[in-house]
Amino acid sequence: MAKTKTYIKLLLVALSTILLNLGTIGYAQSLVSSGKLLLTGGVTQIEGAAGGGLTPWAVIGGYEGKSQIGGNIFATEIATKDYRIKSSGVLVGLHDRLELSFARQDFNTRNVGTALGLGYGYEIRQDTLGIKVRILGDAVLEQDSWVPQISVGAQFKSNRNGALVKALGAREDKGTDLYLTATKLYLAQSLLLNMTVRETQANQFGILGYGGQRGGYKTEVEGSVAYLISRHLAIGGEYRPKPNNLAVAKEEGAYDAFLAYAPTKFVSVTLAYADLGNIVTRRQNGLYTSLQAGF
């Protein structure tokens, strides 16, 4: 927990230092003023990147324009039949080009922890440092082009319960996800489409370690679709396959159906039905809730 607070403080201190050294208050206000349309920066996915709840999008988090900075903090909870997953973190977007993020996932085993001899509510924790770079296109502004916004990203993951996940069959307690993602917003149709190609060996997003008896890195294709009911409200769905590396239990893909509401650019709330597939004992589904605040 102390390391998590340290990472978040470092990001916030870096952001504050940039603002304090701009020279004038007027320029600082211009730098952080909102330059995007409502909801076009996405929400924050479970590992901290801007996008949907499950998969990253090519958009850069925050509402900054090309000469501005933006940022978000978020807290997410997924309550399923047997487990509770909490994720929280911070994100900084620079000039609508570069995104840096940190997130902590806490996986509460509840009664399953008792059955495994770990104790009720035993928690598995994972830290994720993320980076994303926009390399081509603009999902919102280039409406006269068929080319989507394209970004590349990496998520550096560290499971803090290494002995346990290795006992379950994982090869490693650290891993890196690499991804290429493309997002296109059709304003006339109020429709957003996203596809993400991810190279990963993370078991259950990394909560159960990385790699296993059945293999290591695999290429997975994720997808998202969202419809803007109004400038404040969006509905949609996502699908994210998983590599199924552990022999101890079959791993299945995850999907959700979500509703995202943003009354202002400073806050958004996301509610979803999430099905995470089989996690050790049986299929896990339940309510996904997320709160995001930023600029």
Judge contact between 65 and 288, C-beta under 8 A. Answer: no
Task: State the virtual CA torsion across 237, 56, 272, 148 in degrees, nearest 10.
Answer: -40
The residues near 115 (Cβ < 8 Å, ≥ 6 apart) are: none
Work out the pLDDT band at 248, boundaries 50, 70, 90.
Answer: confident
Phi/psi for 187 (5° steps) reads -60, -40
For residue 35, the model assigns a pLDDT of: 63
What's the alpha-carbon Rg for the chain, to the nearest Å? 19
Task: Express each pLDDT in 260-274 by its tens digit.
Answer: 999 998 999 999 999
Segment 5-41, tens digit of pLDDT: 554 555 544 444 444 444 333 444 445 445 677 887 7
User: What is the pLDDT, as a whole number, of residue 64?
Assistant: 86
The pLDDT score that the predictor gives to residue 9 is 52
Looking at residue 254, its pLDDT comes to 97
Task: Decide if 76 contacts 52 (C-beta within 8 A).
Answer: no
Task: Please give the pLDDT value at position 36.
Answer: 77
Q: What would the pLDDT profile of 42-62 be if each residue is shown by its tens digit?
A: 899 999 999 999 999 999 998
The residue behind tokens 């996800």 is 177
Q: Which amino acid, 144?
A: D
Predicted pLDDT of residue 5: 53
What is the per-residue pLDDT for 27?
Answer: 40
> Rounded CA gap, 31 and 60, in Å?
16
Taking only the tens place, the pLDDT of each residue in 53-98 is 999 999 999 888 888 899 999 999 999 999 999 999 999 999 999 9
Least confident range from 3-17, 102-116, 148-162, 176-190: namely 3-17
Mean pLDDT of the chain, nearest integer: 89
Which among 264, 242, 258 has a CA at the least distance from the CA of 76?
A: 258
Q: CATH homologous superfamily for 2-294? A: monomeric porin ompg (2.40.160.40)
Query: Which residue type does 48 have?
Result: G
- pLDDT digits 0-9 by tens, 227-238: 999 999 999 999
Domain boundaries in the chain? 2-294
**Does residue 15 or residue 250 have the better pLDDT?**
250
Collapsing DSSP to helix, strand or coil, 110 comes out as helix
What share of residues in the chain are helix, strand, coil (percent, to 5)? 15, 50, 35
pLDDT of 209 above 50: yes
pLDDT at position 258 is: 97
Q: What's the confidence (pLDDT) of residue 263?
A: 93
Query: What percent of the chain shows pLDDT beyond 90?
Result: 74
Rounded to 5 degrees, φ, ψ at 17 are -60, -40
As a dihedral over the C-alpha atoms of residue 180, residue 193, residue 261, residue 269, rounded to 10 degrees, the angle is: -30
Q: Is the pLDDT of residue 174 over 80?
A: yes
Query: What is the rounded average pLDDT of the residues 114-123?
Result: 87
Q: Tell me whether residue 249 is exposed, middle or buried, using C-beta atoms within 10 angstroms of its C-beta: 0 to 12, 13 to 18, 19 or more.
A: middle
The whole-number average pLDDT for the span 159-167 is 94
Q: pLDDT class for 141, splitting at 50, 70, 90?
A: confident
Element (H, E) at 31: helix 25-32
Bigger pLDDT: 23 vs 212: 212
